[in-house]
Structure 1
Amino acid sequence: MKVADKVRSPCVSICALDDNDMCVGCHRSGDEITRWSQMSNEERQEVLRKVAERESKFLI
């Protein structure tokens, strides 16, 4: 798989985990951040769905 075909990280270079182990920048858990480079595109897409859900709750 070409690098261009991989699902890109949602990292926004604001790397700080809150008390719930969630990054305040990209809304991924510490575990999701750690495993990102080993995940398949399908796994990454699932994480991005979770990130979108977390972001929507954060903005309310």
Structure 2
Amino acid sequence: MHPRQLEIEEDSLPEKLLELQNNELVQERLIWQHLTRRKINEMNHIPDEDYADWGDD
């Protein structure tokens, strides 16, 4: 490996690290969006047996 090649690779490390961190943040955000959507869907779903109990008072 030539010294110049090594220098270029070392210089690109912060850029690669930033790229990895950005990818990690995007993945984390997508996971949270998925989990949030799933939870909202669960909360909005009303099982049939709950309907039967309403208005019986």
Q: TM-score range by the shorter chain?
A: 0.3 to 0.5
Name the larger-Rg structure. 2
TM-score (norm 2): 0.36
Higher RCO (C-alpha under 8 Å, 6+ residues apart): 1
Larger helix percent: 2
